[in-house]
Structure 1
Amino acid sequence: MVNDTTLLLDLDGVSVARVERLAYGRRRVHLVTADETARACPACGVFATRVKGSAMTRPRDLPYGEGGLELRWHKRRWWCREAGCPRRSFTEQILQIPAGARLTARLRDTAGHRIRDAGSTVIQAARDLHLSWPTVMEAFRTQARDVTEAPLPQVTVLGIDETRRGRPSWEQDAETGKWRLTRDRWHTGFVDALGHGGLLGQVEGCTVADVLAWLATTDLDWRKGIGYVAIDISATYRAAIRIGLAHATVVVDHFHVVQLANKMLSMVRRRTTAETRSRRGRASDPEWKARRRLLRNREDLTDDQFATMWNTLLSEGKIGQTLLLTLLP
């Protein structure tokens, strides 16, 4: 049965011996080993029976309370009496606090999870947990491996889109004098557009070769399971899909279709106004007043709003009729 002092700290393998109150509300917690397996030799696994001495470490743990806790682990150093073991002595260690560790395992895990799962930045997590930036970044890399090295979920609809990532970087070749791109400002992301897989991968660049390079890292059976690929209106991505996923159906995502339709409608409105009125549109023109409603979804307009827009444009002759014809499927 786990004793109450172990449950109080909730750190398996150690128990609280005593607590001191320090200045500024901080408390110093003295720990002793509560796990018998801590005296097993890390080299040969044999339980040691002879104590060589004592040691004290100061592992850091999760923040607790306003003042925080200072941990002092008083542990023993053991002799390994196994004849064939190369390890002569060792100090006690538990799963949460390995030998030589300055941080508990749960503190490192929490730092990584805050960035990977909670959307926190590295700087914010470091401030909240009182850790350094490199420590938190390394914890995030460790947690991210569980995601990046996990097998991809089965995807029916694959989404491909570009994302801007900072500024490009160029480097001049000392021999030829030509400049070459060393860091692209565009990255290509691959997502599960229909399921819950989220972001599947991301590569630098947005060329056909970049897309095919990522697809080449996936299994053939996984690629065969993709029935549709959703992209923006990009000839580059379409060409890559025709090569790497020839069996899949290419579809354009809803956002870019609506965006393209709105751009076309606005272009027709401005062009028709210029041809009919021989000038640019003005605030007094009915088609200019209706420019916002023309770009809204029908379900977002009340019946009165839609009827007012429709009847007003219909009475404007060529301008209104042209715009209404553009709206019709």
Structure 2
Amino acid sequence: MLNPTFTAPDLTTFAGLNQLGLTAIGQHLSTAKAEIFCHVTTPDPWCRICGGTAVPRDTVTRRLAHQPFGWRPTVLVIRHRRYRCGHCQRVWREDLSQAVAPRQKISRTGLRWALAGLVTQHLSVSRIAEGLGVTWNTANEAVLAEGQRLLISDPARFDGVKVLGVDEHVWRHTRTGDKYVTVIVDLTSVRDGTGTARLLDMVQGRSKAVFKTWLAERDEQWKQGIEVVAMDGFTGFKTAAAEELPHAVEVLDPFHVVKLGSEALDQTRQRVQREHHGRRGRKDDPLYQCRRTLTTGLSLATEKQKTKLEDLFKAPEYEPVQLVWSVYQKMVDAYRQLKPEIGRWAMEQLIAEIGTKVPKGLPELKKLGGTLRRRKTDILAYFDHVGSSNGPTEALNGRLEHLRGIALGFKNLTHYIARSLLETGGFRPRLHSES
């Protein structure tokens, strides 16, 4: 716009006070904070008991933390009238419910700013408290209560779930108390290609009983809508899902299947290293130098890495490592097939091969073959339900690691679960629509 037309400053609109039913009548700025003096836009001098006309009795002042501007704390100084009914002598104050929740020290606009900062900008509570100019406890209690009311307690939060992911992680590293939590994730949007994974709930502990109890608490109609349960190799989750969701398909996701192969390869490499060198690997040992290259998919390996592997496998004492490495590469290739039916056939052939034809002297490969044979149905189910992987669940666990870093750790499990649900609960569209 070449010739903009400027109007007189409107502090009420700029500070968003019109949404709170307030009108700005003055301001005081300092290097520490900004104070906006305001009053209620539409007085209500009518008695709600008898309907009589009231007269102003006196005025009190109320101070509210507001949304900061330029990270300078902003305070609303509200001139709050009190009225007395001339008929029944009732006394009341002007209604501020549009501006602030009962017994709250932060305006509704400031509270929405704080919640958006916590959920979408991943700010710490300390940073939010600094922006609002309040104590940490005041900011934490207000934000968690608003998040609980607006987001976590939403009765529609569990609607539309068809694909579940379940995993566990360590939420605190202390010697006392249960350090594990079970994480339940909605993977429906990931499978359908319409969105990202969404954290549904977190439960203290890691066992079959924990997951089974959580499923038992859901209503029968909701459980009937679950089509797929993606999980890691922990058999407790599988048993709980089989008992509570007998109609659902259990899927062992590719990440954990390939991880089983990678662990078998590492264990074989370490055993061969000790048998032929009598010690752990050192930086000049060929096996130790190739430890990263061995777990790289052959299709992604560079020519230098391929040459390095060829030189390694020329030594006959490293033949056990080569055999397990070839199995690991076949597992990776099966999951990288463009057509699921080809990948399913390749994986099925591999499971049959290492389940019956394992050479002697390869205990790691024999153990891997037994595990794959026991979980064969769950492993092959992935190829029939592509997209129902527990990988996004692992990604959410990574985001929770970041959350714990921001907060410098948690001591209170209730606060941790609430913060985690806000951080990874997929509530962003609803949050913006409410604001």
Q: Same fold, TM exceeding 0.5?
A: yes
Correspondence 1:130 to 2:133: yes
Cα 1:54–1:185, aligned 2, differ >3 Å: closer, same or farther? same
1:55 to 38, 57, 60: 60
- Structure 1: how far apart are the matches of 2:73 and 2:124? 22
Alignment of 1:160-199 (within 5 A): 160-166=166-172, 167=174, 169=176, 183-195=177-189, 196-199=196-199
Which position in structure 2 is the counterpart of 1:179?
A: none
Q: Deviations over 1:35-56 (max 9, x none)?
A: 24x4465x55958553333333
Unaligned runs of 5+ in 2: 1-8, 190-195, 331-435
Which position in structure 2 is the counterpart of 1:64?
A: 69
- Structure 2: how far apart are the matches of 1:194 and 1:185? 28
Alignment of 1:145-294 (within 5 A): 145=148, 146-150=150-154, 151=156, 152-166=158-172, 167=174, 169=176, 183-195=177-189, 196-273=196-273, 277=276, 279-280=278-279, 286-294=286-294
Which position in structure 2 is the counterpart of 1:14?
A: 22
- Structure 2: how far apart are the matches of 1:15 and 1:247? 59
Does the Cα contact within 8 Å between 1:313 and 1:321 map onto a contact in 2? Answer: no
TM-score norm. by structure 2 comes to: 0.61
Q: One-letter code of the match for 2:147?
A: A
Does the Cα contact within 8 Å between 2:28 and 2:34 map onto a contact in 1? Answer: yes
Q: One-letter code of the match for 1:62?
A: Q
Aligned residues: 306
Greater mean deviation of Cα atoms: 64-73 or 287-296? 64-73
Secondary structure of 2:68's match? Answer: coil
Report the structure, 1 or 2, having the larger helix content.
2
Which position in structure 2 is the counterpart of 1:172?
A: none
Larger RCO of the pair (alpha carbons < 8 Å, separation 6+): 2
Cα 1:315–1:30, aligned 2, differ >3 Å: closer, same or farther? closer
- Structure 1: how far apart are the matches of 2:31 and 2:283? 66
Report deviation, 1:168: 5.5
1:143 to 132, 142, 146: 146
Q: Deviations over 1:205-239 (max 9, x none)?
A: 11222111211222222222222222221121122
Report the structure, 1 or 2, having the larger strand content.
1
Q: One-letter code of the match for 1:92?
A: E
Does the Cα contact within 8 Å between 1:52 and 1:77 map onto a contact in 2? Answer: yes
Q: One-letter code of the match for 1:149?
A: S
Cα 1:210–1:27, aligned 2, differ >3 Å: closer, same or farther? closer
Which position in structure 2 is the counterpart of 1:178?
A: none
State which structure, 1 or 2, has the greater radius of gyration over its C-alpha atoms: 1
Cα 1:40–1:107, aligned 2, differ >3 Å: closer, same or farther? farther
Q: One-letter code of the match for 1:319?
A: Y
After superposition, the CA RMSD in angstroms is: 3.2
- Structure 2: how far apart are the matches of 1:67 and 1:249? 54
Which position in structure 2 is the counterpart of 1:92?
A: 94
Report deviation, 1:201: 0.6
- Structure 2: how far apart are the matches of 1:109 and 1:47? 37
